[in-house]
Chain A
Amino acid sequence: MTAQGITLAGRERRVAAPGLTLEGRGVLEERALFGPLTLALPAGRWTCLLGPSGAGKSTLLRLIAGLSTAVRLEGTVRAEDSAPLAGRIAYMAQTDLLCPWLDVLGNVTLGARLRGERPDSARARALVDAVGLAGREAARPAALSGGQRQRVALARTLMEDCPVVLLDEPFSALDARTRAEMQALAARLLAGRTVLLVTHEPGEAVRLADRLLLVERGGLSDMPLPDAPPPRAPDDAGTLAAQGRLFRALLGEGAPA
């Protein structure tokens, strides 16, 4: 990890990150799927949605992103500053979503090119460096490992410099060590933005969340977190205890583990 200690503050156009609220109910084929509920993402904080697969976490994220889902939202998604959200959202998914025909730099600067801007290649290089891939700028995704590809995806997400970042299980396909590194890296580089992290892993949620919501049967419930600020050490006693509580909650209250 060559990125330790590098700050990108000097290069970044800091944008005030607004809080975000999704309000309403989700309807699937004329049947209510969830809600009515209110999902509030506090400004400049990490909000984690934790729940088993199929609980509707990703659907909530896609509704906020304005992507098509089978579920129709009867309600609103709005930012605190009441400006439109389009163009202010960055997105990172479980798969790296890299264009295989573009090299690392090309992928990182994709958003700029789509907006018809001249890509800031110095900044792109600095970000590639920050995610620990200096020297691999000209490599195609096929030449990179899964972890490296996800780093490129993170660099691209950062390159967008969007105040709102949506993460849909971005680390779940990585091995334990790479995942821990990526979590620390993301926590550091995405600090100050409004982040929504969707995950099915209690450990990850406890490590990174400022606010933790359990998604169950279409409802949301707030879960307590340790006092230490994120990113929390994965082996800290408070982290582990919170993780244990979450496991119990996931299994159903009071059930023996």
Chain B
Amino acid sequence: MTSLTEGSAPELVDVEERSRRRRLAFEKWGKWVLPVLVIGLGILAWHLVVTLNGIPHYILPGPVLVFETLVKDWALLLDALLITLQITLMALAIAVIGGVGLAVLFTQSRLVEMSFYPYAVILQVTPIVSIAPLIFIYVDNKMAGLLICAWIVAFFPVLSNTTLGLNSADHNLRDLFRIYGATRWQRLRYLQLPSALPYFLGGLRIAGGLALIGSVVAEYVAGTGGVGSGLAFTILEASYRLNIPRMFAALLLIAATGVVIYAGLSFLSYMLLHKWHESAIRREV
């Protein structure tokens, strides 16, 4: 029975097969090399534009100067980065707990869902910059205020995706669980939560980026720096001093942080799903 599907395929070497393999090999390295190449060319173009036109560094610094600033101000930038990272990750963690918790609550009780879902939507559609000033009036602790802002932005995709996932468990499987006499809790634990996992992870990837955006935006609104200020305040402060290279360096760090968070969450998603979920299974085309 298994030999049909698993037997080693004979070496096919017709033209079509060879071109297909070449395409696969190209895609394999192209996926990494091409974006690096494009970024490299972009940086080169940036460098050329700055040097050939003699643009002064207080208007547009070249990539070399930005990199030098990154190294020179590293201690300062690292402190700021760690603060931003801390707020982002904490907000993401609370978003996960809050989002998944609310989603579970919503699927357990239609009444709760009907009552509270509108609030979740209202929080989501109101721009965070317009809520943040109020939050900083009522919340004394600046850290807590930043966290609340980042959480408001980040939790909705987790909530809506997880709710969708919990509700999309196969109804035939629900029948099977009923016949097996599964309790409500078992249905949640063994059927709905695993079914929701791919949806949750999709929401988490969006939430990761949003948590970073939320924490940066909130810091702009919070304004005054002092101890424990993150990358957003570093940019703000550098702009007051017309320290354009430092603005670029901090911006670079924020972008890099976003990419790393996205990559990390994508990797997590792959590790959890690649064995069974349609979205992550590698298939031969």
Contacts and interface: CB of A to CB of B under 8 A. Distances in A.
Contact of B197 (A66, A101, A115, A147): A101
A141 interface: yes
Interface in A99-134: 99-101, 110-111, 113-115, 132-133
A95 B172 contact: yes
A65 B191 CA distance: 20
A135 B5 CA distance: 14
B2 A114 contact: no
B281 interface: yes
A100 B270 CA distance: 15
Main SS of the interface on chain A? loop
Interface in B152-185: 170, 172-173, 175-182
A124 B278 CA distance: 27
Given A99-B191, A99-B194, A114 B177 contact: yes
B181 A87 contact: yes
Interface residues of B, number: 24
A207 to B, nearest CB: 21
Nearest to B283: A142
B58 interface: no
Contacts of B179: 65-67, 89-91
Main SS of the interface on chain B? helix
Interface of A: 1, 62, 65-67, 86-87, 89-91, 93, 95, 97, 99-101, 110-111, 113-115, 132-133, 135-136, 140-142, 145, 147-148, 160
Contacts of B5: 145
B1 interface: yes
Nearest to A140: B276
B276 A110 contact: no
B19 interface: no
Given A111-B180, A114-B182, A132-B1, A101 B276 contact: yes
Contacts of B72: none
Nearest to A3: B1
Contacts of A114: 177, 180-182, 186, 190
Interface in B234-285: 275-278, 281
Given A67-B179, A93-B172, 13 more contacts: A65-B179, A86-B181, A93-B175, A97-B173, A111-B180, A114-B177, A114-B182, A115-B181, A133-B2, A142-B275, A142-B277, A142-B281, A147-B1
